[in-house]
Amino acid sequence: MILLLLFLICPHLVLSLNQEGLYLQHVKLGLDDPDGFLSNWNDRDDSPCNWTGISCDSLTHSVNSVDLSNANLAGPFPIYVCYLHNLSYLSFNNNSINGTLPLEISKCGNLETLILAQNFIVGSLPGSLPEIPSLRFVDLLGNNFSGDIPVSFGGFRQLEVLSIVGNLLSGNIPSFLGNISSLKQLNLSYNPFLPSPVPPELGNLTNLEIMWLTGCNLVGKIPDSLSKLKNLVDFDLALNSLEGPIPEWITGFSSIVQIELYNNSLTGGIPVGMSKLTRLRNFDVSMNQLEGPIPEELCSLPLGSLNLYENQFQGALPASIALSPNLFELRLFNNRLNGTLPSELGKNSPLVWFDVSDNQFSGDIPEGLCENAVLEVVLLLNNMLKGAIPEGLGNCESLTRIRMRDNRLSGPVPEGLWSLPYLSLLDLMGNNLTGGIAKNVSSASELSGLLISRNRFTGSIPEELGQLDSLVEFSGSDNLLTGSLPGTLVNLAQLGRLDLHNNKLSGELPQGIQSWKKLNELNLASNELSGEIPAELGSLPVLNYLDLSGNYFSGKVPLELQNLKLNKFNLSNNHLSGDLPPLYAKENYKDSFLGNPRLCGDIIGLCPSREKAKSKGSMWLFRSIFILAGLVFFLGVVWFYWKYRSYKKVKKGSEKSKWILTSFYKLGFSEYEILDCLDEDNVIGSGASGKVYKAVLSNGEAVAVKKLWGVSKKVDLNGGDAPDDGFDAEVETLGKIRHKNIVRLWCSCATRDCKLLVYEYMPNGSLGDLLHSTKGGLLDWPMRYKIAIDAGEGLSYLHHDCVPSIVHRDVKSNNILLDEEYGARVADFGVAKVIEGFGKGQKSMSVIAGSCGYIAPEYAYTLRVNEKSDIYSFGVVLLELVTGRLPIDPEFGEKDLVKWVCTTIDQKGLDQVIDSNLDSCFKEEISRVLNIGLLCTSDLPINRPSMRRVVQMLQEFSVEHKAKTVKKEGKLSPYYYDDSTDQVSTV
Ligand SMILES: *[C@@H]1O[C@H](CO)[C@@H](O)[C@H](O)[C@H]1NC(C)=O
Ligand SMILES: *[C@@H]1O[C@H](CO)[C@@H](O)[C@H](O)[C@H]1NC(C)=O
């Protein structure tokens, strides 16, 4: 019958092809095969046994295996494969199979292996699967299966491997899985299960070798019944909320190779008896609340990787750790460890990552850390290490990051350390190092950060430094550097920060500094520099921190400096003379020019001899006095009126309120002036956290004032006497942040029941408003692309360069603001957290976790936000830039923008998602940004790149992913190693 049907459908089929071949032709017909993977499935052959992906039994010539992995096939699951009666192996690993998995899959009656990993299958798991009696291996990783695990799954008869990692399963991990006694691997990681304990019944799986339940929302203690799992090789319960101690019975797991319990809430110490685990290679209990010593018996094992960071471990690092011939990773940062580092460390081991930052280690840095020439990262920040930096590190070409900040290191730096070819960061700040910067530094071609402040470096800055094309930051303040700034420094096109204050540099500023297009901060204070301040400084587009104080600069203050938008501006204590540029001839800039006796401006006290010098007679003097007196009187009246109004205004708000102003910048306005502008007429926006007003101040400047919600409510709830819960501290952190892509917080004002945040005003409003209004077409692709990079850099700064790192928590296009030139700045970062603590009375979801359409899927089950949630939201913004669509749109139906983009690309192609306003000549670039957006919005947080990486990708476009395969990015194995921890945790 089926044969007849096929014959009717495909009349060109030649009847010589056997029946199994005909079934497979039907499979081929149902699949979209853009790469021609199935092109040799020729219907003129007698049998399909020679076709790509097909294998037959050598005796019966019947098909027993269909392996179509990595074939870029799309379409619904081709149920016709299940007509192949002898089929025992079926794999569609890493394709684009969509739709649901039909119940008829059970017709594949002889199947032993079923691999459908990394596809787009939706719907519930087919409850009929256990009806296949011989099924041993089921891998459904990386699909979109949802709902509960069917009860029938307790009835698998021979199943050895069950992997449903990275789907959308809800409900909880059911106890009936404990009935599958043949099971060797139970891999259910990264599903949005409800919070629930590990079912004790899983202890009945006594054949289990791998238990991989990372990110399953597990709570409670690790049940003692698991002690029966004597065959475990890999025990992985990381990223859950488990409590209680690490059970002592794990020391009975005599086959165990890997134990992963990081990121839980475990307490107590590492159990006694670890020496019994002779096969253990990887042990990771980081990010818990563990304490006590690091046991000698643990370190005596031939471990490959030992991660204990972010706990409260105490005491010394046992020297035996240095004897392991396998050790490649040792991360102990953020504990309370002390004593010396084992001197043999690295000599016997292929050490790659070494991080002991934020402890109290003393003594010398081990000499042989890089003896095996594979060391990439050395992080020793914040310890008490002394002595010289070992010579051996100077020959260690594999190094990419060196951070030794804030120790007691002394002596000269090994010459080779300056010139390591792959080094991107050399941070030696806060030691007692001596000697000079070596000329060979020009060979460190990857160097982006050279941080050597607060040492005793001498000599001049070598000209060769100007060859470091990637250099973003050069901080060498508080040293004894001499000589002049080499002219080659102006070649550093990427330079964002040049801080050499407090040295003995002399000579003039180099010619050609207008090429510092990315320079944000220039601090050359307290040196012996001389000559004129070059007018070109005024043309630096993003300079906002300029400190040249305490030098011998002479001549006039160039008019061009008026073009700068500075939040730090200090030219005091120089030999400047002449008139001040009009913009700066104001009282509130006074401190910027102090100690320049020959400098003149109309600032009271700055130029005392001016009137005398210019006076041309008594008539003039009389007139001046008259005008002055009139002015004083007028000012008096204004002052009186203004005080009275402010008084009334404040009184209106709250009888007892007193305003407390916390300011982070030199301000040209007062809190009362701002209060006067908080009229409904001036509202420019309103969000989850508060209302935003535009306030135009008397000096003509505009600021944006955010009045936070939900304050009086808290006062009510707590009887009016609640202590200030960290608002000020938090705001202070935010106020200190200075980055060209982050909106500046000028100040905050607070009373007990009202809080205001005063920001710089961004004239072009928010990206969201512009993009989704009728003016959306104004933003052409180059502008959008630049906005993406700007905003990405801002976020990357918050994540990677702030200590502690700051999670934005509400990344969205409405929080990306645009300045005059449509440069983008991130706004409102961390404010959600401030408010969360501040208005505890009201728990609004939108305040805590971001905005609709931008919320990462894992939030639904972890209720925790971290950097990865920001990255998801940023991905949504990228998709908005590419599509011009809103994150949520009635037209999408149930879907959000992310899902809409994925399905539309699949069904209709790329062109259907790209904003039609965009010029098609940019299509290549647009589709790359789209792919980065999709990568950022991966369902699994571990698949999302770090913000630093995102910025890199946006800038380089070095990564080519096909939109369709983006979902399949990332390493999904129980042995996955997440390298972002070094960046996020100990930047
Ligand atoms: C498969 O191909 C080989 C040569 O490539 C040929 O000898 C053999 O007959 C073919 N088998 C079938 C069943 O078509
Ligand atoms: C599945 O993929 C095929 C081929 O790309 C497409 O034509 C079809 O519409 C998709 N079906 C669903 C339900 O997404």
Residue minimizing CA distance to atom 10 of ligand 1: 50
> What end-to-end distance do the CA atoms of the chain give, in Å?
68
Phi and psi for 71 in degrees, rounded to 5?
-105, 0
Clarify whether residues 720 and 869 are in a common domain.
no
User: Per the residue annotation, which of 284, 358, 406, 810 is the catalytic one?
Assistant: 810
In angstroms, the CA 531 to CA 283 distance is 60
Ligand 1 contacts CB of residue 46 (under 6 A) = yes
Average pLDDT, the chain: 84
Residue nearest to atom 3 of ligand 1 (CA): 50
% of the chain beyond a pLDDT of 70:
82
Instruction: Check pLDDT > 80 for residue 641.
Output: no
Residue 111 tokens, joined? 């199947």
pLDDT for residue 567: 79
- Across 96-105, 589-598, 785-794, 830-839, least confident range: 830-839
Q: Within this chain, do residues 987 and 878 fall inside the same structural domain, yes or no?
A: yes
Q: Per-residue pLDDT averaged across 452-457, rounded?
A: 97
In a domain, 352, yes or no: no
685 pLDDT more than 50: yes
Q: Is residue 845 part of a domain?
A: yes
What integer pLDDT is reported at residue 684 of this predicted model? 80
In this structure, the answer to whether residues 748 and 895 fall within a common structural domain is no
> What is the spatial order of strands in the sheet that 122-123 belongs to?
122-123, 144-147, 168-169
Same domain, 733 and 809: no
Question: How many whole angstroms separate alpha carbon 158 and alpha carbon 137?
Answer: 9
> What distance in angstroms lies between residue 58's CA and the mean position of ligand 1's atoms?
12
Residue closest via CA to ligand 2's atom 10 equals: 75
Contact 969, 941 (CB under 8 A): no
Please tell me which residue, 634 or 558, carries the higher pLDDT value: 558
Interatomic CA distance for residues 393 and 972, integer angstroms: 33
Is residue 651 in some structural domain?
no
Atom of ligand 2 nearest to the CA of 903: 14
Question: Are both 969 and 855 inside the same structural domain?
Answer: yes
The pLDDT confidence band at residue 640, using thresholds 50, 70 and 90, is low
If asked whether residues 742 and 801 sit together in one domain, one would say no
**942 belongs to a structural domain:** yes
Distance 10 CA to ligand 1 centre (A): 24
- For ligand 1, atom 7, which residue shows the shortest CA distance? 50
Number of the ligand 2 atom closest to the C-alpha atom of 98: 1
Distance CA 149, CA 162 (A): 12
State which of 703, 730, 760 marks the end of a domain: 760
Query: What residue spans of 654-710 are helical by DSSP H?
Result: 671-675
pLDDT value for 848: 46
Task: Give me the pLDDT at residue 667, please.
Answer: 62
Q: What percent of the chain has pLDDT over 90?
A: 60
Q: What is the mean pLDDT of residues 441-451?
A: 95
* Least confident among 521-535, 776-790, 952-966: 952-966
Q: Which CATH number characterizes residue 697's domain?
A: 3.30.200.20
Q: Which ligand is nearest to the CA of 57?
A: 1
Atom 2 in ligand 1: residue holding the nearest Cα? 50
pLDDT of 662: 63
The CA distances from residue 479 to 380, 431, 461, 520, 800, in Å, are 21, 11, 12, 22, 26
Task: Work out which ligand 1 atom sits closest to the CA atom of 61.
Answer: 13
In this structure, are residues 328 and 307 in contact, taking their beta carbons and an 8 Å threshold? no
Report DSSP letters for 735-766, one per residue.
HT---TTB--EEEEEEETTEEEEEEE--TT-B
Task: Report the candidate in 137, 128, 75, 134 with the shortest Cα–Cα distance to residue 105.
Answer: 128
The string over 872-897, giving b where at least 16 C-beta atoms fall within 10 Å of a residue's C-beta and e elsewhere, is bbbbbbbbbbbbbbbbbeeebeeebb
Q: Check whether 784 has a pLDDT greater than 50.
A: yes
Residue 217 forms part of a structural domain: no
Most trustworthy range by pLDDT among 7-11, 151-155, 857-861: 151-155
Q: Strands (DSSP E) along 789-842, which ranges?
A: 816-818, 824-826
Give the C-alpha separation, 806 to 88, whole Å: 52
Strands 329-331 and 305-307: parallel
Backbone φ and ψ for 248, nearest 5 degrees, come out as -65, -25
Q: Is any ligand 1 atom within 6 A of the Cβ of residue 724?
A: no
**Is 739 among the domain residues?**
yes
Main-chain dihedrals φ then ψ at residue 347, nearest 5 degrees: -70, -35
Look at residue 689 in the predicted model and tell me its pLDDT: 66
Q: Is the CB of 45 under 6 A from ligand 1?
A: yes
Domain match, 728 and 799 both: no
Render pLDDT for 147-203 as a digit per residue (tens, 0 to 9): 999 999 999 999 999 999 999 999 999 999 999 999 999 999 999 999 999 999 999
Contacts 24+ apart (CB under 8 A), 841-844: 841/710, 841/713, 841/714, 841/716, 841/717, 841/718, 842/710, 842/713, 842/714, 844/688, 844/710
Pairing relationship of beta strands 690-696 and 683-686 according to DSSP bridges: antiparallel
Query: Tokens 């940023």 label which residue?
Result: 874
- Residue range 557-594, pLDDT digits in tens: 999 998 888 878 999 999 999 988 888 887 778 889 99
Give the 3-state secondary structure of 942-975: HHCCCHHHHHHHHHHCCCCCCHHHHHHCCCCCCC
**Helix (H/G/I), strand (E/B), else coil: 558:** coil
Mean pLDDT of 334-348: 97
Ligand 1 center–CA 11 separation, angstroms: 25
Residue 99 is encoded by which pair of tokens? Answer: 């739709």
The first and second tokens of residue 169, run together, are: 């399963």
Mean predicted confidence (pLDDT) in 118-126: 94
Both tokens assigned to 302:
């031939």
Q: Which of 342-346, 360-364, 409-413, 776-780 has the lowest mean pLDDT?
A: 776-780
Token pair of 433 as six digits: 């190092």
Residue-range definition of the domain harbouring residue 962: 772-987
Residue-level pLDDT at 888: 87
Residues 719 and 860 in one domain: no
pTM of this structure: 0.66
For the Cβ of 32 lying below 6 angstroms from any atom of ligand 2, the answer is yes
Residue 964 pLDDT exceeds 90 = no
Pick the ligand that lies closest to the CA of residue 77: 2
725 a catalytic residue: no
**Residue 715 pLDDT greater than 80, yes or no:** no
Is residue 973 predicted with pLDDT exceeding 70?
no
Please state the domain count of the chain: 2
Asked whether the CA dihedral 878, 879, 885, 889 is positive or negative, the reply is: negative
Residue 35 near ligand 2, beta carbon < 6 Å: no
Out of 906, 908, 910, 962, give the residue to mutate to test ligand 2, the one with the largest number of ligand atoms within 8 Å of its CB. Answer: 906
Q: Which residue has the tokens 């960290």?
A: 726
Residue 555 clears pLDDT 90, i.e. is over it: yes
pLDDT, tens digit (0-9, with 9 covering 90-100), for 754-768: 778 888 888 888 899
Highest average pLDDT, of 284-293, 634-643, 661-670, comes from: 284-293
Q: Is the same domain home to 933 and 817? A: yes
What average pLDDT does this structure show over 291-296? 97
What is the tens place of the pLDDT at every residue in 820-856? 888 899 887 655 554 444 333 333 333 345 678 888 8
Residue 34: CB within 6 Å of ligand 2?
Answer: no
pLDDT confidence of 669, banded at 50, 70, 90?
A: low
pLDDT in tens, 694-709: 888 777 778 888 887 6
Residues 791 and 741 in one domain: no
**Residue labelled with tokens 């920060």:** 497
Give the tokens for residue 290: 């563990």
Question: Does the CB atom of residue 49 touch ligand 1 within 6 A?
Answer: yes
For residue 317, the one-letter residue type is L
Question: Are residues 939 and 794 both part of a single domain?
Answer: yes
Ligand 2 contact via 431 beta carbon (within 6 Å): no
Amino acid identity for residue 805 in this structure:
S
**What average pLDDT does this structure show over 484-504?**
95
Q: Which ligand is nearest to the CA of 21?
A: 1
> DSSP label at 194?
P
Ligand 1 center to 50 CA (angstroms) = 6
**857 band by pLDDT with thresholds 50, 70 and 90:** confident
pLDDT of residue 895: 84
> Who has greater pLDDT, 978 or 345?
345
DSSP 479-536: S--EEPPPGGGGG-TT--EEE--SSEEEEPPPTTGGG-TT--EEE--SSEEEEEPPGG
Same domain (yes/no): 966, 872: yes
Lowest-pLDDT range, 406-420, 443-457, 842-856, 890-904? 842-856
Any atom of ligand 2 within 6 Å of the Cβ of 98: yes
Range of weakest confidence among 30-44, 621-635, 811-825, 906-920: 621-635
Domain membership flag for residue 385: no
Specify if 200 maps to a domain. no
Is the pLDDT score of 948 beyond 60? Answer: yes
The residue whose CB lies within 8 Å of the most ligand 2 atoms, and thus the one to mutate among 72, 96, 98, 912, is 98
Closest CA to 372 of 356, 389, 353, 352: 352
Ligand-binding annotation for 707, yes or no, is: yes
pLDDT at res. 911:
87
Whose C-alpha lies nearest to ligand 2, atom 13?
A: 99
Q: Which of 210-219, 721-730, 793-802, 916-925 has the lowest mean pLDDT?
A: 721-730
Confirm if 686 and 706 have CB atoms less than 8 A apart: no
Q: Pick the last residue of a domain from 692, 727, 760.
A: 760
Among 739, 760, 781, give the residue marking a domain's end: 760
